[in-house]
Amino acid sequence: MTKGSPARLLLSFSIPIFLGNIFQQLYSMVDSIVVGRFVGVEALAAVGSTTGFSFMVVGFAQGLTAGFSVIVSQRFGAKDYPKMRQAYTMSILSSAVSSVLIALIFTFLSMPLLRLIDTPENIIEDANSYILIIYLGIGTAIFYNLFSSLLRAVGDGRSPVYFLLISSVLNIVLDLFLVIVIPLGCAGVAIATVIAQGLSAVIAFFYIKKRFPIFRFTREDWKLDIPLCVRLLKIGIPGAFQFSVCAVGVIIVQAAINGFGSDTVAAYSVGGKIENVITQFFPAIGMGISTFAGQNLGAGNIKRIRQGFRTAFLIMAAGSVIAFGVALVSADAFSYIFVDRKTTSPEIIELSVQYVHTIAWFFIPLGMIFVFRTGCQGLGSGAIPMISSIAELVMRTAAAFTLPAAFGYVGICFASPVAWCGAAAILPFCYIYYMRKIVRKTERVHMHLARQA
């Protein structure tokens, strides 16, 4: 990432991640498709009603491990391989502790949280059985995301795609087996998800060990380094909480949707799945600029960092236009993938399409969030992602408490766009401020070295 055309590097790095993200979305999509078609609309609503809570824990895992990989990326860019390996082992240790804590906490909170948001009684038991298994298996998601983030940190964005392809196929097979052959319903698709993610993590670990000798750790690398763990957590936890904070907003919106009944919950769930697929290029380009910024910061190339951000923004804008067109053209066809056309009320499809068509107009603000928020995290900032996430939470909460009461389901459709615009409005200014801070720090270092010389 420190040499060559930024546009070519960002695209060649981000496109495999984009494909990997699509495969990763298949986990939850296939869960919804299988229960929607082979169990029923209520089961589809049950799985959909847990989206916010699932996003909270899985997003926490993604943010945490992405933060860990920042230090690995910077040390790789500086060619400091011994310290890079130490960051790797301490990341594994921190991930293991985090997995246990998250599983314990959310296992006990599972049913109380579902009742807190007034999950309809006809779906709450299925919802709890699904999300409880996801909580218990959160370690598989954490370690898959850790190993994938580390591979991306050293410039390998393609291998995680292959791992996901294998596990996605396994997830589909297990979903069908555990729902049709062994009728476990919502619990079955959750079990399939955890097993498939676990396989991805195991394959990624052994691939790193074999393919990258610089990651082959020794006993000495496992020596507990408290300051390094603190530094890893200092970057990782704000990134993790940025997802969790966003998830709180999603949960608040879910509470508003639950009041409309299980059919609307099902429709919103389908619309959300379609949104997740169509917008996966944005987190991909965000990961690309994060790695680009981290490696070039390690190499001390400030001018190139700015060039990378400008290029990433232009690529994101072009991707937004494409995503907009896909959303308008294909929302109806996508919606029918999740349900049986003969037995499903047309209103569910109409509400799903309405949601997708509404949010499509706001893809550029959404893309800006990923470029500037994730990019600043790659530069080592924990505060900027947190500030923008809080802004997003405040705007989404305000929208959830006001717009549905005034405009009904249309108000729900605008909750996310309002939040995106609020977060996107402040991020470019935060980026400019942080870059100036880096420049001042670099100038001080150069002056100090000049005096010593």
Query: In sequence order, what DSSP letters do the residues of 292-331 get, joined into one string?
Result: HHHHHHHTT-HHHHHHHHHHHHHHHHHHHHHHHHHHHHHH
Which one-letter amino acid corresponds to residue 162? Answer: Y
- Token duo for residue 350: 């109409």
Question: Are 238 and 386 in contact, with CB atoms under 8 Å apart?
Answer: yes
Element at 26 (helix H, strand E): helix 6-38
Distance CA 37, CA 44 (A): 8
Q: How far is CA 46 from CA 49, 182, 261, in A?
A: 5, 19, 11
CB hemisphere CA count around 208 (13 angstroms): 28
The H-assigned helical ranges of 299-414 are: 302-335, 346-359, 363-368, 375-378, 383-407, 409-413
- pTM for this structure? 0.74
> Which of 366-369's residues contact partners 24+ apart within 8 Å by CB, and which partners?
366/279, 366/282, 366/320, 366/420, 366/424, 367/282, 367/285, 367/316, 367/317, 367/319, 367/320, 368/313, 368/316, 368/424, 368/427, 368/428, 369/282, 369/420, 369/423, 369/424, 369/427
Quote the pLDDT of residue 28.
Answer: 66
Quote the pLDDT of residue 367.
Answer: 94
Question: Are 288 and 13 in contact, with CB atoms under 8 Å apart?
Answer: yes
Quote the pLDDT of residue 172.
Answer: 87
List the one residue out of 87, 410, 106 whose CA is nearest residue 221.
87
Exposed, middle or buried: residue 184 (CB in 10 Å: 0-12, 13-18, 19+)? Answer: middle
- Token duo for residue 118: 């007034």
The H-assigned helical ranges of 259-301 are: 262-278, 281-298
- Token duo for residue 172: 């589909």
Distance CA 179, CA 38 (A): 7
Q: Given the structure tokens 């704000």, which residue do they identify?
A: 238
Exposed, middle or buried: residue 406 (CB in 10 Å: 0-12, 13-18, 19+)? Answer: exposed
Backbone angles phi and psi of 24, in degrees to 5: -65, -35
Question: Are 381 and 433 in contact, with CB atoms under 8 Å apart?
Answer: no
DSSP 259: T
Which one-letter amino acid corresponds to residue 233? Answer: L
For residue 258, is it left (φ>0), alpha (ψ between -120 and 50) or beta? alpha
Exposed, middle or buried: residue 228 (CB in 10 Å: 0-12, 13-18, 19+)? Answer: middle
Question: Are 325 and 105 in contact, with CB atoms under 8 Å apart?
Answer: no
- Token duo for residue 4: 């060559």
Distance CA 391, CA 119 (A): 26
Along the chain (453 residues), what's the average pLDDT of each consecutive run of 10 residues?
A: 87 84 72 82 84 80 77 74 80 86 89 88 90 91 84 76 82 89 88 89 88 78 79 76 75 85 86 88 90 83 90 95 94 83 79 94 94 86 80 87 88 91 91 88 71 66
Q: Given the structure tokens 């969790």, which residue do they identify?
A: 244
